[in-house]
């Protein structure tokens, strides 16, 4: 393993910086839905051409601010002469807020079809004067992950990690988790997952909490499955099950809402529109 990894992190002081970074977390929230190591459906619940858009909100002192949006796309492509999915998430603040906390973020992944597993992942986030880029390439023949990290607060570096079984990056796990049949879970059941994030592969878990109806700010209501996700302590989060995710109670398992507490306030992503689903959106109660 390369030894030039640096671990010191800088946290910018001041409420404006926290507000800025808090919204940037929303880019991760809609992708932070993770790989389960239990039985999955025989076929994938999404297809090429699927599109979903989410509104991004930040709550500070009881005020919810709709600061931007995140778009998800899924297409079929060739990757090194093999069929693959190209999955992309692009987030941005609205122009009205750019002077206060401009954020631009891109998450991009290529994943093999059969079995569905990540091949390459790239994450680029710009907020204010801060810029970071992460690139990961998976080599299953050698069981290695080749990493390139370019953070804003220290020099770029390369690393090589052991590719553990059932390891998914932030974005491909968002789609992979949708393959799981939530109806096989009992209320309160604890489910392990494994995720590649920030050059580490921690073993984490979530709890399943049954079904619940969710009404978005646009007035749409869905029957959903609810889970709470365990997070590690970091610059933004306290350690614990502070993230909640609601998936549609139909064959698509589209995330409808993702929310979590952070060190100051909370952040939320809500489904605004979705197109080209593989199955009917039968979980929608009211539109």
Q: Tell me the pLDDT tens digit for each residue of 7-45.
A: 333 333 344 444 444 444 555 555 444 333 334 455 889
Residue 140: inside a domain? yes
pTM: 0.81
Count of structural domains, the chain: 1
Residue 10: inside a domain? no
- Domain enclosing residue 203, as ranges: 15-276
Residue 281: inside a domain? no
Six-digit token string for 259? 């929310």
Q: Which SS3 state, helix, strand or coil, does residue 174 take?
A: helix
Say what the alpha-carbon torsion angle 207, 212, 213, 215 is, to the nearest 10 degrees: -40
For 230-272, the DSSP string reads EE---SS--SEEEEEEEEESSSS--EEEEEEE-SSSEEEEEEE
| Number of neighbouring beta carbons within 10 Å of residue 199 | 17
Q: Tell me the pLDDT tens digit for each residue of 153-199.
A: 789 999 999 999 989 998 887 888 788 889 999 999 998 888 888 88
The DSSP letter of residue 181 is: -
- Torsion-angle region of residue 235: left (phi > 0), alpha (psi -120 to 50) or beta? alpha
Residue 252: inside a domain? yes
Q: Which SS3 state, helix, strand or coil, does residue 280 take?
A: coil
Residue 2: inside a domain? no
- Beta-strand relationship, 82-93 and 103-112: antiparallel
The phi and psi torsions of 55 (rounded to 5 degrees) equal -85, 145
């Amino acid at each position: 393993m390369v030894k030039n990894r640096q671990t010191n992190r800088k946290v910018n002081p001041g409420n404006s910086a926290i507000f800025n970074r808090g919204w940037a977390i929303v880019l991760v929230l809609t992708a932070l839905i993770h790989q389960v190591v239990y039985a999955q459906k025989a076929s994938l619940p999404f297809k090429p051409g699927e599109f979903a858009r989410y509104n991004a909100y930040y709550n500070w002192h009881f005020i919810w601010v709709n600061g931007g949006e995140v778009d998800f796309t899924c297409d079929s492509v060739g990757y090194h002469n093999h069929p693959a999915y190209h999955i992309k998430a692009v987030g941005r603040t609205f122009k009205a807020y750019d002077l206060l906390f401009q954020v631009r973020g891109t998450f991009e992944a290529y994943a093999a079809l059969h079995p569905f597993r990540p091949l390459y992942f790239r994450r680029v986030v710009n907020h204010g004067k801060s810029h970071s880029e992460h690139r990961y390439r998976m080599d299953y023949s050698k069981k290695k992950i080749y990493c390139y990290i370019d953070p804003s607060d220290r020099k770029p570096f390369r690393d090589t990690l052991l590719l553990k079984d059932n390891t998914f990056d932030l974005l491909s796990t968002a789609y992979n988790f949708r393959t799981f049949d939530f109806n096989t879970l009992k209320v309160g059941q604890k489910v392990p997952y494994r995720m590649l994030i920030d050059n580490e592969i921690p073993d984490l878990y979530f709890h399943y909490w049954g079904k619940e109806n969710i009404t978005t700010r646009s007035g749409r209501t869905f029957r959903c499955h609810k889970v709470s996700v365990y997070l590690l302590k970091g610059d933004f989060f306290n350690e614990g099950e502070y993230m909640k995710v609601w998936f549609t109670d139909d064959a698509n398992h589209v995330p409808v809402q993702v929310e979590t507490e952070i060190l100051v306030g909370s952040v939320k992503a809500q489904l605004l529109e979705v197109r080209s689903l593989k199955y009917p959106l039968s979980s929608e109660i009211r539109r």
